[in-house]
């Protein structure tokens, strides 16, 4: 039997893995469940991703792109006249207002890195990337602290099934920003 040319198969497998984790959690992920979800032969999943960790890395990397897109839409990070705390609070609000399942999935994959060392570098990519963007407006240590606070706020909203309070987030973020980097009028 001739092999069917399917250039999108790898992407379909990643998308299927994301859906499986979203529905069943990391524990429900296997080559078999992903193959069934993607409607591909089992051998296709192992051809493209020898291990589940390789598949999880690809899924986490793709999930990270969702947050990166939200950050990219906020181009005012480099403008010292903008209120940095308000801009960061807006980023969190936009992200949390989007696909809630996607946000939860990203955190599930992110937290899976605690037990799966192969995921740790990818899990750290979004923290590092966001800290680099924020560091253009403040120092690297403050940027990392702001990312940690944003991460904590997101986790609290997700874990408590609460609603995001942009005013609270802005106030907390502002407390970490040195006055000269805040960008607020009069600073």
Average pLDDT value for residue range 10-31: 91
Other beta carbons within 10 angstroms of residue 46's beta carbon come to: 16
How distant, in Å, are the alpha carbons of 6, 10, 23, 30, 168 from that of 37?
16, 13, 11, 11, 40
CA 41 from centre of chain:
29
Residue 104 near residue 158 (C-beta atoms within 8 A): yes
Confidence of residue 3 (pLDDT cuts 50, 70, 90): low
Residue 54 token pair: 């390789």
The strand ranges marked E within the chain are none
pLDDT at residue 112 is higher than 80: yes
What fold, for 63-182? Tetracycline Repressor; domain 2 (1.10.357)
pLDDT tens per residue across span 68-97: 777 777 766 778 888 999 999 999 998 888
pLDDT of residue 184: 46
Point out the least confidently predicted range of 38-42, 46-50, 116-120, 156-160. Answer: 116-120
How distant, in Å, are the alpha carbons of 9, 16, 45 from that of 3?
13, 21, 15
Domain-by-domain residue ranges, the chain? 1-50, 63-182
pLDDT of residue 182: 55
Q: What is the 3-state secondary structure (H, E, C) of 14-32?
A: HHHHHHHHHHHCHHHCCHH
Q: Report pTM.
A: 0.79
Write the CATH number of the domain with boundaries 1-50.
Answer: 1.10.10.60
């Amino acid at each position: 039997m001739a092999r069917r040319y399917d250039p999108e198969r790898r992407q379909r497998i990643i998308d299927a893995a994301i859906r499986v984790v979203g529905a069943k959690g990391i524990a429900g992920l296997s080559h078999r469940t992903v193959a069934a979800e993607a409607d591909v032969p089992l051998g296709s999943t192992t051809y493209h991703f020898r291990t589940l960790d390789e598949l999880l890395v690809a899924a986490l990397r793709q999930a990270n792109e969702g947050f990166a897109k939200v950050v990219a839409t906020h181009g005012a990070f480099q403008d010292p006249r903008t209120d940095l705390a308000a801009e960061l609070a807006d980023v969190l609000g936009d992200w949390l207002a989007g696909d809630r399942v996607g946000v939860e999935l990203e955190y599930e994959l992110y937290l899976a890195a605690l037990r799966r060392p192969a995921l740790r570098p990818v899990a750290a990519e979004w923290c590092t990337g966001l800290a680099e963007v924020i560091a253009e407006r403040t120092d690297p240590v403050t940027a990392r602290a702001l990312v940690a606070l944003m991460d904590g706020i997101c986790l609290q909203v997700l874990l408590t099934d609460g609603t995001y309070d942009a005013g609270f987030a802005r106030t907390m973020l502002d407390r970490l920003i040195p006055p000269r980097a805040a960008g607020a009028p009069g600073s």
